[in-house]
């Protein structure tokens, strides 16, 4: 079986994607209908790497 994966970087979800990968912050913003700057994902990752 083949799955289409989308790395979610905006509030636009591809209808052909079976799996969407994103941070919880971005998913929250998508569900609320607001935009999250792309660099916000990188900031979250940097904090985790410092731990």
Q: What is the pLDDT of residue 44?
A: 56
Confidence of residue 46 (pLDDT cuts 50, 70, 90): low
* Helix, strand and coil in the chain, % to nearest 5: 40, 10, 45
Q: Which two tokens stand for residue 40?
A: 């916000």
Instruction: Retrieve residue 4's tokens.
Output: 């289409």
| Of 7, 46, 42, 47, residue with least CA distance to 27 | 7
Query: Which pLDDT does position 27 carry in this prediction?
Result: 83
**Is residue 42's pLDDT more than 70?**
no
């Amino acid at each position: 079986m083949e799955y289409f994966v989308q790395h979610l970087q905006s509030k636009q979800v591809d209808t052909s994607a079976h799996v969407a990968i994103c941070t919880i912050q971005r998913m929250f913003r998508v569900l609320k209908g607001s935009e999250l700057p792309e660099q916000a994902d990188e900031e979250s990752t940097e904090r985790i790497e410092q731990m």
